[in-house]
């Protein structure tokens, strides 16, 4: 993930986090996230990810995700005080001139759309406001 995405997420978190929320804890503090995962958590995450899960999927995922997260908790035992985060391993600069370059023609970009509107140069989507 590009670093700016992480920064954005952290920014959003800082703005919206209520005082009692665990994420308010100082960075570097070892957090114990051993609260068992509930179906309500799975529903909340599914909504964030725009996934509409069936009841069966919700049950299966609650158990499987809990297993994986509890396995991942072993990382909490490692002292990472003062250790920088590695988001990527690129060693080189990746800047280029901000110059116009040829890109995909609109018509071609629309060719795979499930409901394209090439005459308008647009993707058509269902109603946004009910």
Partner 1 sequence: MSDLFANARAIAGDIAAGRVSAVEICRQALDRIGRLNTSLNAFNLVTDERALDRAAEIDRLRASGSALGPLAGVPIAVKDNMCVRGMRTTASSRILDSFAPPYDATTIIKLEQAGAVIVGKTNCDEFAMGSSNENSAYGPVRNPWALDRTPGGSSGGSAAAVAASCVPLALGSDTGGSIRQPAAFCGVTGLKPTYGRVSRYGLLAFASSLDQIGPITRGVEDAALALQVLSGPDPMDSTAAHEAVPDFLAGLSREARDVRIGVPRAFVSEGVDASVLAAFDASLDVLRSTGATLVDIDLPHAKYAIPVYYLVCTAEASSNLARYDGVKYGYRSSESSQGLKTMYSKTRDEGFGAEVKRRIMLGTYVLSAGYYDAFYLKAQQVRTLLKQDYEHAFESVDVVVMPTSPIPPFKLGEKTDDPLQMYLADIFTVSVNLVGLPGISVPCGLVDAVGPGGTTRLPIGLQFVGKMFDEATILRVADAFEHATEWSRQLPPL
126 binds partner 1 per the rule CB under 8 A: yes
Indicate the residue among 48 and 119 with the shorter CB distance to partner 1: 48
Name the minimum Å distance from CB 86 to partner 1: 4
Are residues 37 and 66 in contact, defined by beta-carbon separation less than 8 angstroms?
yes
H-helix or E-strand containing 10? helix 3-16
Dist. CA 102–CA 60, nearest whole Å? 47
Q: Does 118 bind partner 1 (CB under 8 A)?
A: no
Euclidean distance between CA atoms 105 and 87, whole angstroms: 34
CB 118, min distance to partner 1, A = 13
What is the footprint of partner 1 within residues 76-115 (CB under 8 A)?
A: 76, 78, 80, 83-92, 94, 96, 104, 108-109, 111-115
CB nearer to partner 1: pick between 9 and 120: 9
Q: Give one word for 93, left, alpha or beta, with left for phi > 0 and alpha for psi -120 to 50.
A: beta
């Amino acid at each position: 993930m590009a670093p700016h995405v992480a920064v954005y997420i952290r920014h959003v978190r800082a703005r919206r986090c209520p005082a009692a929320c665990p994420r308010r804890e100082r960075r570097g503090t070892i957090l114990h996230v051993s609260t068992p995962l509930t179906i309500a958590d799975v529903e909340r995450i599914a909504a964030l990810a725009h996934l509409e899960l069936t009841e069966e999927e919700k049950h299966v995922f609650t158990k499987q995700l809990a297993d994986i997260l509890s396995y991942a908790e072993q990382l909490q035992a490692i002292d990472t005080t003062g250790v920088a985060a590695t988001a990527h391993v690129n060693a080189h600069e990746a800047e280029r001139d901000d110059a116009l370059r040829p890109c995909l023609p609109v018509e071609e970009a629309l060719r795979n759309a499930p409901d394209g509107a090439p005459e308008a140069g647009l993707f058509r989507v269902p109603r946004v406001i009910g």
